[in-house]
Amino acid sequence: MADEDPFLWLEDVTGEAALDWVRARNTETLDELAGGERFDRLRDEIREVLDADDRIPYIRRRGEHFYNFWQDAAHPRGLWRRTTLEEYRKEQPAWEILLDVDALAEAEGENWVWQGAAVLRPHFRRALVELSRGGADATVVREFDVNRHEFVEDGFFLPEAKSRVSWIDEDLIYVGTDFGEGSLTTSGYPRVIKEWRRGTPLSAAVTVYEGKPDDVAAFAYHDPTPGYERDFVGRSPDFYRTEKYLRTGEKLTRIEVPDDAQTTVEREWLLIRLRSPWSVGGRDYLEGTLLAAPFDAYLAGTAELTVLFEPDARTSLEAYDWTRNHLLLTTLSDVRTELYVLTPAEGWRREPLTGGPDLGIAEILDTDPDTNDEYLLSTSGFTEPPTLSYGQVGGEVDVLKQSPARFDAEGMTVDQYFATSRDGTEIPYFVVRPRAEGGPTMLTGYGGFEVSRLPGYSGVTGRGWLARGGTYVVANIRGGGEYGPGWHTQAMKENRYLVYEDFAAVATDLVERGITTPERLGIHGGSNGGLLMGVMLTRYPELFGAIVCQVPLLDMRRYHLLLAGASWMAEYGDPDDPAEWEYISKYSPYQNIRPGQPYPPTLFMTSTRDDRVHPAHARKMVAKLLEAGYGVRYHENIEGGHGAAADNEQLAQKWALLFEYLWRNLRS
């Protein structure tokens, strides 16, 4: 079937013919959407939100300092910087600039995009900085002297690749990268992990672990916690299964838990979060349960498991974070955040922790389990700007920073409703409505990989959509994690159709409640959410007035052959398996384009530099739709990676195109 594809030539990412086609489509789209005072004003207002000097500079503790990465109009590529807590409390903190990415890019003639840094504990003097060209997942790794604010001459360095690196000590790191033939998995990630000593060539690095060619990736990391120094290695056979081993010299001791369970080790404790039911030791545990046991005793086979959290039909565990003496749980009850403190020294005593707004989110952003019981707490809601607070378990919670409102929310309402999907399952969704009724409605969703869509603040959506009179809707469909692992696993592979039935049910419910009409209902989504948009276009076109489909998967016949696609076969299935292609083929958007259908106006957006989801998905879909006579539009950013934007200027352009396209096509 792949050989019959007339648009395979568009899979040549930087081929001249493919890029000529991209440039022609971009010109059509920009000529239609980007001209005129209204678009310029919209783009500039969004850029103003993204570059605002009074945004909260979110921080992470690393030793005595709090680190931040900051982008604004003067520094579009960004500044890596740090300060102290005392200084951060001031209205205008003094920042110590560690690395100016814009200056670096100009000096080296590269379009560098910041991708993060691993700072060596416990002294935090060195970092492994990752920089990508144009925002791709593949990065260049360079060792950085944090105190001297400069790259280390003859320090650790890796050329561009999808590498995995982590510190062991100041002179030794774990490295997984492209060592040559056979060193990467079929998904393009490291299969071989080595120890690399300072001052030696990469070719002299010593192999400590190897995964299998069809794995997603192999990994290794060192825990430097004083008194609990340990090393772990392992492999991920697929996106959801992991084999993890304690590495003691050349000896590997497997942590015997279900393959799909998530494990973390902190000091003396092993935590196990289940993704499927588990029967062990004469007890049955539900998926989504969090268990604890003393780590050493568990490896010896003598530990008893303690239940720290057990889900019910309405409540799930969203996250957990250690402080020095406590464990903080973030739970969701019908997609509403609740926070708790567990204290192991007191028999795992559980108490509430002050949370966030009723229809909003509260998120633990950072803790310092090495030294104290502090935590950074972010709270917000659809119409409530973010607040960043600092707390100590058992003490007061102080507001550090509050964001000003980015749009006028006076009179706006936030409601939660439940739609009934085709199989009778209740699907929650949030509706944010402006003061005056009558504007178009924009619905979004994701529905995959156990990713929860939570009711947080977005100045971009507020300024670009709500403030103009539009209604905004977020659907919490299956495939996500809003009700725990089961909300996700019941919609995988052969049951993928449930994701699409859920989203269609929300769209139908919006109309039945009189919130909107099909002609006034637009939708958007990206990545797996872009696949959702493609399915809505080809299977449920009558429900929508316009669609924006971003960085999408669409050709599910070949997705596993393109870039990182093979790593997602645990989610979607293997199209080379006839039994699995049977159900994938029923929804794969590219294969289900039909002439003469009532397809709504659709804009496809992607990035040339996306090395996770291949831009050919969107390219080929548009080419095939155009050939069938549909008037779709297309825009491909040359930079941006999977986010489709490398800086705030590009991000503002992307959002402005999305909002303008929906607004124009939903006005009638």
Report the 10 Å Cβ neighbour count for 281. 9
Q: What share of the chain in percent tops pLDDT 70?
A: 97
Res. 1: pLDDT tops 50: no
Q: What is the pLDDT of residues 76-108, one digit of tens each?
A: 999 999 999 999 999 999 999 999 999 999 999
pLDDT at 345: 82
Omega before residue 122 within 30° of 0, cis: yes
Where are the alpha helices (H) located in 52-190, listed in sequence order? 85-88, 101-108
Q: What is the pLDDT of residues 605-643, one digit of tens each?
A: 999 988 889 999 999 999 999 999 999 999 999 765 556
Give the architecture (CATH level 2) of 2-48+406-665: 3-Layer(aba) Sandwich (3.40)
Res. 377: pLDDT tops 60: yes
Res. 178: pLDDT tops 80: yes
Dist CA 554 CA 531 (whole Å):
6
Res. 246: pLDDT tops 70: yes
Dist CA 663 CA 465 (whole Å):
9
Give the single-character DSSP code of 633.
E
527 catalytically annotated: yes
Dist CA 646 CA 611 (whole Å):
13
What is the distance between the terminal CA atoms of the chain, rounded to a whole angstrom? 41
State the pairing for strand pair 315-322/283-285: unpaired
- The catalytic position among 187, 389, 527, 567 is 527
Res. 356: pLDDT tops 90: no
Q: What is the mean pLDDT of residues 26-48?
A: 94
What does the block give as tokens for 48? 């103003």
Q: What is the pLDDT of residues 431-442, one digit of tens each?
A: 999 976 778 999
Res. 421: pLDDT tops 80: yes
Dist CA 432 CA 468 (whole Å):
13
Q: What is the pLDDT of residues 204-236, one digit of tens each?
A: 999 999 999 999 999 999 999 999 999 999 999
Q: What is the mean pLDDT of residues 15-42?
A: 95
Domain ranges across the chain: 2-48+406-665, 258-311, 313-403
**What is 388-412 written as a DSSP string?**
EEEEETTS-EEEEEEPPPSS--TT-
Strand-pairing partners, residue 391, are 375, 397
Dist CA 1 CA 206 (whole Å):
44
Res. 645: pLDDT tops 70: no
pLDDT at 643: 62
CA neighbor of 420 nearest in space, from 327, 505, 330? 505
Q: What is the pLDDT of residues 528-567, one digit of tens each?
A: 999 999 999 999 999 999 999 999 999 999 999 998 899 9
Dist CA 198 CA 163 (whole Å):
18
pLDDT at 640: 58
Instruction: Answer for the pair 361, 353: CB distance below 8 angstroms, yes or no.
Output: no
Res. 357: pLDDT tops 70: no
What does the block give as tokens for 83? 């300060």
Contacts of 99 (CB under 8 A, 6+ apart): 79, 80, 129, 144, 149
Q: For residue 129, what pLDDT band results from cuts at 50, 70 and 90?
A: very high
Q: What is the mean pLDDT of residues 130-156?
A: 95
Q: Across all residues in the chain, what is the average pLDDT?
A: 95
Res. 2: pLDDT tops 50: no
Q: What is the mean pLDDT of residues 46-62?
A: 96
Q: What is the pLDDT of residues 569-588, one digit of tens each?
A: 999 999 999 999 999 999 99
pLDDT at 641: 58
Q: What is the mean pLDDT of residues 286-290?
A: 97
**What is 255-304 written as a DSSP string?**
--S-TT-EEEEETTEEEEE-SS-EEETTEEE-TT-EEEEEHHHHHHT-PP
